[in-house]
Structure 1
Amino acid sequence: MLFILGLTNSLSVALQRKDQDILNAMSLVKSTKQQLCKLRDDGWNSLLTKVFAFCENHDTELLIMDDVFVDPRKPRKRSNMANLHHYQVECFYTVLDMQIQEFNDRFDEVNTELLGCVASLSPIDSFHEFDPLKVMRLSEFYPEDFTSVDRISLEHQLGLYIDNIREDERFANLKSMGDLAHVMVETRKYLSHPQVYRLLKLVLTLLIATATVERCFSAMNIVKTSLRNRIGDKFLNDCLVSFIEKELFDKVTNEIVMKMFQDMKERRITL
């Protein structure tokens, strides 16, 4: 548990950061996956050595790996396997294989390529990661939003877009793609580069449609308890909004709520 959680904890914390750079995140995913594979291939002996050292330091009985494994749930039934096979194959390898398979499912080649292409629109360091080929490849992921004519128009816009943006001082110190979209609207450059702006909006929607949705489903498991199993959709939605947007609701004072109810209709007494 300490080995696996120790390897994945840094990645988990990094992926939850709102200001996480996509390229750095994907690089961290790749490194974590490599470490898990390395642990599976060469980590058993070092783990066993640490376990035996821990047992000796705390006067705990040591298991003999060549003895027959006894299932504590069925102690009278012969398992026909050694302790070594159980702990190495059925525990160690199985858990690591589950972790590696989860990485492969969540970060397959298509998702990795998509996120790599998304990073090419990043404005950090004066659009250092900008790559016209990756931007064109990114548009191919949205066939319903970019026709063949739109992609040709996008290809013609990219050279003018990057030169125009880099020469404008208002785009010099941007930190995220959300800032880029905001400044493009303020400077009305979204009218000059409509295809790039459309692609930028799709990318921003992609981020919302993944992490935010998963957080909402996690919140639903907390809000919709066994005592609320017959809750209606509207009431459930109101409860979820209050639970998810805690930071915003902390700014709402009791006086504001009372004033709102007072303004809704006339009452017999003053709230």
Structure 2
Amino acid sequence: MKYILGVTSTLCQALQRKDQDMLNATKLVKLTEEGLKSYQLEGFDSLLEDVTSFCSKYDIEVVDMKTEYVDPRYRRKKTGITNRHHYVVNNFNPVLDMQIQKLGNRFNEVTTKLLTKMSSLSPSCNFSVYSKVNLLNLGEMYPCDFDFDEKEKLVYELGHCITNVKEDKRFANLRALGDLAKMMVKTRLHIDYSLVYRLIKLSVATASVENCFSSMKNMKTDLRNRIGDEYMNDSCICYIKREFLQQV
């Protein structure tokens, strides 16, 4: 558990940062998942060495991993498996499988693909990760918001818009998509580049909804599974908008 918490700690802290770049967050998810899978394949021996060292230091009897496992509930019944097999298959692997499955469910292929394409709109470092191909594919993922003619127009509008804002010093120090949307309204570029602005709004809304759903899981736990809708809404507002609540 110490190793698992250590591997996932960086990801957990990164996802809570409001200025976290989505592309970096997606890479961190992938690296964390790969780290857990690698530890599942090769980590038991190192864990066993640590446990053996701990037991030797404090004169604790060490279980022989090569001997047959004895089920404490049915001591007279032969199990036909070794102690190593029992601890790997019934203890070590299930814990790691649970963590890997949770990451896979929360950041599935569709979500990861969406976040990766949304990151191409990030204004951080003067739009360093901008990709027209990714953004056009992102528009395809919102078929109800862009008709055929608008998709064709978006191709030209994207290139013109990004070139414009890169040369505008007012956009130089922006970090998040929300900041980009606000600056476009402030400079009235949302009128000239209405399709790009629509794409930004959809991306910001998608990220905000994902954040709200994540927060709801922290609010509606097993101990509060009968919480009412009104109280749930009020609690979520206080939890999600903590920085504003502290000013009240």
Taking structure 1 as the reference length, the TM-score comes to 0.83
More off after superposition, 39-48 vs 67-76: 67-76
Show the counterpart of 1:81: 81
SS in 1 for 2:18: coil
Show the counterpart of 1:129: 129
Q: Match for 2:129: what amino acid?
A: E
Show the counterpart of 2:14: 14
1:3 maps to 2:11: no
Identity %: 42
Question: Measured at CA, do residues 65 and 232 of structure 1 come closer, stay the same or move farther in structure 2, by a change above 3 Å?
Answer: closer
Match runs of 1:21-36 below 5 Å? 21-36=21-36
Which structure ranks higher in relative contact order (CA pairs < 8 Å, sequence separation ≥ 6)?
2
String of CA shifts for 1:70-101, please: whole Å, max 9, x gaps: 34455565544321111011111222222223
Show the counterpart of 2:233: 237
CA distance in 2, matches of 1:93, 1:65: 16
How many residues end up aligned between the 2 structures?
A: 248
CA distance in 2, matches of 1:157, 1:12: 37
Taking only aligned residues, the RMSD between alpha carbons, in angstroms, comes to 2.2
CA distance in 2, matches of 1:201, 1:118: 11
Which residue of 241, 244, 247 maps to 1:248? Answer: 244
Show the counterpart of 1:201: 201
Show the counterpart of 1:100: 100
Match runs of 1:106-125 below 5 Å? 106-125=106-125
The answer to whether the Cα contact below 8 Å between 1:223 and 1:239 also exists between their aligned partners in 2 is: no
Match runs of 1:185-196 below 5 Å? 185-196=185-196
Which ranges in structure 1 are unaligned for 5 or more consecutive residues? 253-271
- After TM superposition, give the deviation of residue 243 of structure 1 in Å: 5.4
The answer to whether the Cα contact below 8 Å between 1:67 and 1:83 also exists between their aligned partners in 2 is: yes
Question: Measured at CA, do residues 158 and 233 of structure 1 come closer, stay the same or move farther in structure 2, by a change above 3 Å?
Answer: closer
The answer to whether the Cα contact below 8 Å between 1:22 and 1:119 also exists between their aligned partners in 2 is: yes
Which ranges in structure 2 are unaligned for 5 or more consecutive residues? none
SS in 2 for 1:146: coil
Question: Measured at CA, do residues 171 and 223 of structure 1 come closer, stay the same or move farther in structure 2, by a change above 3 Å?
Answer: farther
More off after superposition, 7-16 vs 184-193: 7-16
SS in 2 for 1:43: helix
